[in-house]
Structures are given as structure tokens and as C-alpha cells.
């Protein structure tokens, strides 16, 4: 296989949540592989600053995946600037003040709101992008899943650190996103659109040291992920090197889910 199949030189990529911890690393990695990257985020200041640091191959567009009009406007802006949309990376992670509510305190309204922001937000982006890609006859959609969309959390590592565990609606959303990915890969394949997922394990973000130690002890590679560890998987799935891959969930977790 020719190395240039990993080259994104002729691809325009929209990254939702592009100014976030993982999103920033992903945007930088896509630019490194010569992609034209549009940083989509609700945080204008952070998004514009990132795009400026990344240089001429990057720009910013305001994009709130929980708002259909915002998503539509963002996609139209990409088309106005670049004439096409080749890749969408769904990396946004919408939360509010109710995030982390434990099961015992989670009322139906809070449950529905969090599922709506996350799972339905991803759907809104996918549906809007797919309409464009169908007209083009090609495209790649990459959804961020999670190890917690594959299996349940190990609650003991949170208990050791005396910290809140990942909430139930997060696992439900991520599980839904992974099967939505498989469904749409089958549904959109005849339109030349590939749909895949990347599922990271725990990413280091200055968590309680007791949590970090417990997490790393359970992980075969003996450490939490850094944001840069996730980049290669996204670049691969966005590139022509993955042209015969669709409906796949690429797990990047240091071996967490093999146990």
C-alpha cells in the first residue's frame, strides 16, 4: 500500500468538539496529514485560538450539536468555504450541570435531557453531513464511542478514589452511538459513505491520583491514554487507507476491554 493513501491533502474535515481535550489533538493530527480542518465547537474563543495555532489549513466554525440550526449552519459554512465535506469527526461531548448525577438521583427529565444532548446530538450531525455526502457520492463519518459503550465501568476504581463514577446516561449514549454507527454503515454504504467509530479508553486529565493508579493497574499497557494516542485511529479511518472499512469500532484503550 502506498504511504500516500494516508495523505488527507484533498479532504475537508469538520471536527465537532474540535476545541476539546481530544478534539484539539485530533485536529492537529489531521492538519499534520495535510487535511483541511474546520474546528467546530461551542467555545468560539478556544476554537478560533486553536485554528490560528494550526495555521492556514485550519479554520473555526461555531457548532453546537444540541442545536439543529447550529449544525446546519456549520455544515453550510464548510460548504461555502471549501465546496465539499469529505469527513466528519463527531467528537463533541455535551454536558451540563446535571452531568454525573448518580442513578439513585437521576429523574426521567434529566435522563432524557442528557441522552438528547449526546446521542441525538450525534445523530443530528450525522444526518446533516450524510445529506451532503450522499450528493457527493462519497464521505467518511467517524463517531466517538467509548469503552463504556462496550462494557460496564469497573466501579471499584472510582470507589478507591472516592470520586463519582461515569454516569449511566453516558454508557447508554455511547452504546447507542456504536450501534447507530453499524446501522448507518449498512444503510449508507451504497451511497459511498463509510461510517466508523473510535472508542478511547480512559484519557489522563489530572484525575485524582488514586483513580489514575487504580485505572493503570487494571490496564495491560499500564497507563491511561494521552489525547495524542487517539489521533492515529482517526487519521486512519479518515484516509483512503481505510477505504474498505465501514461499520467498525476501533478501540484505543491500552487493552482495557480485553479483560
Task: Report the distance separating Cα 217 and Cα 232, nearest Å.
Answer: 24
Query: Is 24 a domain residue?
Result: yes
**Which pLDDT belongs to residue 86?**
98
Cα(55)–Cα(32) distance, integer angstroms: 11
Closest among 128, 172, 129, 127 to 148, alpha carbons compared: 172
> How much of the chain, in percent, has pLDDT values that exceed 70?
99
Q: Considering the domain boundaries, does residue 142 fall inside one?
A: yes
Q: Is the Cβ–Cβ distance between 96 and 117 less than 8 Å?
A: yes
Residue 228 neighbours by CB distance under 10 Å? 12
CATH number for the domain including 18? 3.40.50.720
The residue range of the domain holding 73 is 3-151+167-204+227-252
Nearest to 103 by CA among 158, 153, 168: 168
User: Is 70 exceeded by the pLDDT of residue 118?
Assistant: yes
* Average pLDDT rounded to a whole number, residues 74-95: 97
In a domain, 87, yes or no: yes
Kind and range of the H or E run holding 212: helix 209-218
Among candidate residues 93, 158, 170, 215, the one labeled active-site is: 158
Q: Domains in the chain: how many in total?
A: 1
Helix (H, G, I), strand (E, B) or coil at 148: helix
Where is pLDDT greater, at 3 or 138?
Answer: 138
Residue 216 lies in a domain: no
In a domain, 195, yes or no: yes
The answer to whether the pTM exceeds 0.85 is yes
Distance CA 177, CA 120 (A): 9
Report d(CA 2, CA 148) in Å as an integer: 35
Give alpha helix (H) positions in 56-206.
68-82, 108-115, 121-136, 155-161, 168-188
Confidence of residue 164 (pLDDT cuts 50, 70, 90): confident
For 250, phi then psi, to 5°, come to: -90, 110
CA angle 41, 47, 51 (to 5 degrees): 130
65 found inside a domain: yes
* Residue 215 known to be catalytic: no
Cα separation, 48 vs 51, whole angstroms: 5
In a domain, 198, yes or no: yes
Q: Is there a domain that residue 211 lies in?
A: no
Amino acid at each position: 500500500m502506498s504511504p500516500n493513501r494516508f495523505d488527507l491533502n484533498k479532504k475537508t474535515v469538520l471536527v465537532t468538539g474540535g476545541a476539546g481535550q481530544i478534539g484539539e489533538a485530533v485536529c492537529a493530527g489531521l492538519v499534520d496529514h495535510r487535511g483541511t480542518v474546520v474546528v467546530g465547537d461551542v467555545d468560539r474563543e478556544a476554537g478560533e485560538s486553536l485554528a490560528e495555532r494550526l495555521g492556514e489549513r485550519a479554520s473555526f466554525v461555531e457548532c453546537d450539536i444540541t442545536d439543529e440550526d447550529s449544525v446546519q449552519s456549520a455544515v453550510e459554512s464548510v460548504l461555502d468555504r471549501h465546496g465539499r465535506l469529505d469527513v466528519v469527526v463527531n467528537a463533541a461531548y455535551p454536558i451540563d450541570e446535571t452531568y454525573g448525577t448518580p442513578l439513585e438521583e437521576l429523574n426521567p427529565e434529566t435522563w432524557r435531557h442528557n441522552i438528547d444532548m449526546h446521542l441525538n446530538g450525534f445523530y443530528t450531525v450525522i444526518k446533516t453531513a450524510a445529506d451532503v455526502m450522499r450528493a457527493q457520492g462519497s464521505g467518511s463519518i467517524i463517531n466517538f464511542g467509548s469503552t463504556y459503550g462496550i462494557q460496564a465501568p469497573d466501579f471499584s476504581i472510582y470507589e478507591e478514589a472516592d470520586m463519582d463514577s461515569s454516569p449511566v446516561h453516558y454508557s447508554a449514549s455511547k452504546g447507542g452511538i456504536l450501534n447507530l454507527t453499524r446501522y448507518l454503515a449498512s444503510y449508507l454504504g451504497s451511497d459511498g459513505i463509510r461510517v466508523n467509530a473510535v472508542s478511547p479508553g480512559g484519557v489522563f486529565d489530572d484525575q485524582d491520583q488514586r483513580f489514575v493508579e487504580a485505572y493503570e493497574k487494571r490496564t495491560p499497557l499500564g497507563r491511561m491514554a494521552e489525547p495524542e494516542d487517539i489521533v492515529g485511529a482517526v487519521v486512519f479511518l479518515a484516509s483512503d487507507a481505510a477505504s474498505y472499512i465501514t461499520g467498525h469500532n476501533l478501540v484505543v484503550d491500552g487493552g482495557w476491554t480485553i479483560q
